[in-house]
Amino acid sequence: MLDAQKVRKKLKNVYGDECLSQARVYEWAGRFKAGRESKEDNKRQGVLVTVHTDYNIEHLRALVAANCWLTIRRLSVELGIKETVCQMLHDNLSGFPERVQKEGREWLSTVITGDES
């Protein structure tokens, strides 16, 4: 029989302050008592595994080229993805280092920034 208290104590001895919280240990102990055999997360239906794809990057590039004033929120809606739009813009479309290298630091004065309003 799995004793969550003993498991927590052993984990705390090994991992110290980096140990799972007591609530998580009890949650997982309950799962294993109920018959679970795997420590891996369950697959979730309807969740895309990878959204940072060449197709999405090109779609994002086309949206930005058509209207550079679109907000991150609007781009996310258009692409149907949320979490990775900022990362994709930064990693694949920013071009800041290349532009600064090619056009010099003066180019930065042409960049328009805005606030949340």
Q: What is the pLDDT of residues 58-86, one digit of tens each?
A: 888 888 888 878 888 888 888 887 667 77
For residue 96, the model assigns a pLDDT of: 62
More confident residue, 5 or 97: 5
What pLDDT is recorded for position 64? 84
CB 52 within 8 A of CB 59: no
- Tens of pLDDT, residue by residue over 30-45, are 888 888 888 776 666 6
Buried b (16+ CB within 10 A) or exposed e, 7-30: bbeebeeeeeeebeeeeebeebbe
Q: How far apart are CA 12 and CA 8, in angstroms?
A: 6
Nearest to 70 by CA among 8, 114, 28: 114
Q: What is the arithmetic mean of pLDDT over 41-54?
A: 66
Q: How many CA atoms lie within 13 A of 24 on its CB side?
A: 7
Q: What percent of the chain has pLDDT over 90?
A: 1
Least confident interval from 12-16, 27-31, 38-42, 110-114: 110-114
Q: Hey, what are 72's tokens? A: 């991150």
